[in-house]
Amino acid sequence: MFTPKYPPQDTAPTPTVTPVQMTAPVPAVQASAPAAPPAPVSSRPTVQLTPGSALALAAGGGAVVLVVGAVLVSMLLAVAITAVSVAVTAVVLRFLITDLRKGH
């Protein structure tokens, strides 16, 4: 039950690279800089976005931004309302304490 489950091995065939025959003569003196190694070939499939899927992705991202923004604004509003109510309570209590000390 608690043993890990590994995904199956990649069964995609490895691409074979055929060497390109050079037709230009090779110079007798080699350059001092070594040639760059060829870029590795990825066996993972590439993701291609169609215009419709790109539009859906943009709309989904916009919806996420709007929802997160609404949540953050509502939290800020809740903090502001709490701060105002605490300030009003403090002013009322200060007024009552001052009034009690005067003896009214």
Would you list the domain boundaries of the chain? 72-104
Provide the 3-class DSSP secondary structure of residue 44: coil
Q: 30-40: per-residue pLDDT in tens? A: 556 667 777 77
Is the distance from CB of 12 to CB of 43 less than 8 angstroms? Answer: yes
Q: 44-98: per-residue pLDDT in tens? A: 777 788 889 889 999 999 999 999 999 999 999 999 999 999 999 999 999 999 9
Is the pTM here over 0.75, yes or no? no
Closest among 74, 77, 55 to 66, alpha carbons compared: 74
Per-residue burial over 71-101, b if 16 or more Cβ lie within 10 Å, else e, is eeeeeeeeeeeeeeeeeeeeeeeeeeeeeee
Q: Cα(62)–Cα(51) distance, rounded to whole angstroms?
A: 16
